[in-house]
Every structure is written in C-alpha cells, then in structure tokens.
Structure 1
Amino acid sequence: MLLHRLYRAVIMGPPGSGKGTISGRISKSLGLQHISSGDILRANIDAQTELGLLMKASIDEGQLVPDQIISRLILGELTLLQHSSWLLDGFPRTLSQAESLEESYSVDTVINLQVPFHIIRQRLTSRWTHLPSGRVYNVDFNPPKVPGRDDVTGEPLIQRDDDTPETVMRRLKAYQTQTEPVLEYYRSKGVLETFRGTETNKIWPHVEAFLHKKFAVVNKGVA
C-alpha cells in the first residue's frame, strides 16, 4: 500500500512472542522499513564504534546499558531514515527511552503482541541449537532428524542458557516489569493497539487488517 505521508510505528512483545516474524510480514506487506534495535546494537559492538564500546563495557561488567546510550544510538540511526516510513522493533524498552523517542518523532501506532507466558515458555524451552553453525531447532515444529543431533554435521545440540525454563521465566517477568510503564505511556496517548493470541499465524491477519485500515485513514486524511 502506497502511503502519502511518512508512517512511524513501534512493535512490542516479550521474547518468543513472534515479534520478529510479525515485523517481517509488516515490512513485506505494508512497506515499512523494519529497524531492529538488537541488530543495530550488535553491529555497533562488532564495529567497535564509540557507542558500541560503551555498550560492550557495560555488558562486560554485567550492567544494563544506560538508557541515554541506547537512545543516542537508535535515534542516530533514525536520522538516516528521515524520508522513510519505519517499524521500530526492540526500542523503546523503558519509559525514559520512549520519552527520548517522542522528543524527535511522533509515533503513529504501537503494536503490542500479548501471548500467554506459558505458551512462550513452551516455545523457548523447546529450542535446541547447533552452536558452531547457529542452526536452531524446535522439538515441537522443527525437530532435528535425529533427536539431539544437528541435521548437517551430526554433532550434539545444546540448550542455550537463555532457553532454560528458569531463565525464560526470569526474562519474561523482567520484560513485563520494564515495559508496563511504556505500554501505559502509549496507551495514554491513544496509539497502543494490543493483539492477543497463542499462534503467530492467527495473530497476523488481525495485525495486517488493522494496519491496512489505519493506512487507509492516513491516506484519506492527506488526500
């Protein structure tokens, strides 16, 4: 769908909620440029930029990266996309980050994916990884041909520390605590739209229909 003005959106959801899949579909279906804050952070750390080195220092010390550093990094990337419509994934995660974003850009829509924690826990704890290649298997819907072995090399698969049941629940609770103020911030602005479900393929049609309707209103308003 061709937009007659720039459209800025944010997608939120806990780890394992299908955020990456939904983001890719939005980008393909509606033409918004998908901006993953995680990709930007990793690229800057790998390239050893000034902000990347500051972030790495915080991470190496076991500390959270300060909001002002994250905000500087993401907002700097967004200045390169002044003439693009975008979908921001992974930022903002705190109220301070949301306020920093609002100072520079007016967000049209915040898509919030709400998937029950027990479903996410099942998804994430079913993941097994072949570390040398990065190949990921899921015992429920993408199992290896031989249980516990990589399809290509036959080497053992492992469950990453991030995917153990205890770690998954700790991450989910931390996400909930950190982002609830952000959701309330956007709810108060009238731009938050929550989509609930247990399967990405069933949530997606509702997200797509909502955005098509939203875009039609935008186009009508500037026609």
Structure 2
Amino acid sequence: MTCKNIVSWTAMVVGYGQNGYSEEAVQIFCEMQRNGIDPDEFTLGSVISSCANLASLEEGAQFHGRALVSGLISFVTVSNALITLYGKCGSIEESRRLFNEMNFRDEISWTALVSGYAQFGKANETIDLFEKMLANGLQPDGVTFIGVLLACSRAGLVEKGCKYFDLMVEQHGIIPIQDHYTCTIDLFSRAGRLEEAKNFVFKMPCKPDVIGWATLLSSW
C-alpha cells in the first residue's frame, strides 16, 4: 500500500496479536508510531493485549502511560486490556485499582479481574467478584468460568465448584471445553476425591487432553 491510515495499521496489529504473534504486533505498533500515525483505542487496546500475552509488564506500563497522556484510558477496550495485562503480570492490586476507577464496566472488565485473581490463587476474592458480577446482571462467558473453577479447585471448594460447573451449562448455556473439564478434574483430585475424578472423566463427552490425564494421574 502506498498510503496507510490508522485502519490499515490497526488491522495488522490486531491480526498479528490474535494469531499468536504478539512480538510482531508490538513491532508493527512501534513502526506505526515511527510513521507518525497516532493510535486510536482499538490499536492501543490490541497492543496492550499483546504485551499481556508476552507478560511484558515494563512495555505494557509504557503503553499505559501513553493511554493516560492521550486520554484513551477512558475507553473500556483500553482499560480492559490494562486490567488483563497487570493481572497476568502479577500486579493484581493495580488491576483492581483500574477496575474501580472505570466509569463503565462490561463483561470483559469483570472477567479480566476474575481471571487475574484466580491465576494467583486468590480464591475468595475470585468467587466474591464473580458473585457480584452475577448480582449486577452481567453474563459470564466460558473464560469467566475457567477462572471461577480454578479458584474453587485451589481452595478445595468441591461442592461450590460443581455448582458453578452446572450453572455454566444449565443456566448460561455454555458448552464446556477442555479447560473447564481439566479444572473440574483438578477440583476433585486436589481434594483427594479420586473416584469422583475418575467417574467424571469417564462421563465426559470427549476424551481428556494430555493435561487432563496428567492432572488425574498425578493424584493417584
């Protein structure tokens, strides 16, 4: 292309980021800036998401600064990406601060924080946040439930985890994927309820993946 605008550059940043080429997405964003093109909320949100996938806190923090200076921090897409970034990099308190400062929060905002708490073993905070999400009438998705099931597993809350698994399928109509099944296998296994874990595996509509089998076998 002889003439590239913000849409052209954003399409490239998003495309690379969504297909697992996070480093290349960041490089393209930097090239865009060198060409004098200022990012919009979609470009900035996408490159921050790529930094989150790379767990690159230092680089992501620089883009956070860019969001503050440009005013793009006010867009939910940018704030959501930052919440995810800090959560994945272990700065969960920074994630919570950003979440609290948002004027509008969507399902992705809540899910990003739920996942951040779950990833670092903060089970009570994860479950409390999830319950508040439901109380606010927001619809969780499959990613939200992965965080909740992981939190229940790490806290040994077997009955609560089973309740959430059933809630996911029966009330929210979400078809479980391997990650949901693996979390539930781990839920039973960590609690020493190995027969229930084995029975759960045999009742699954699909065979466990390598991680699922390893989770089960490591407990025997």
Shorter-chain TM-score: what band? under 0.3
Q: Which has the higher contact order (CA 8 A, sep 6+)?
A: 1
TM-score, with normalisation over the residues of structure 1? Answer: 0.25
Higher helix share: 2
More strand by share: 1
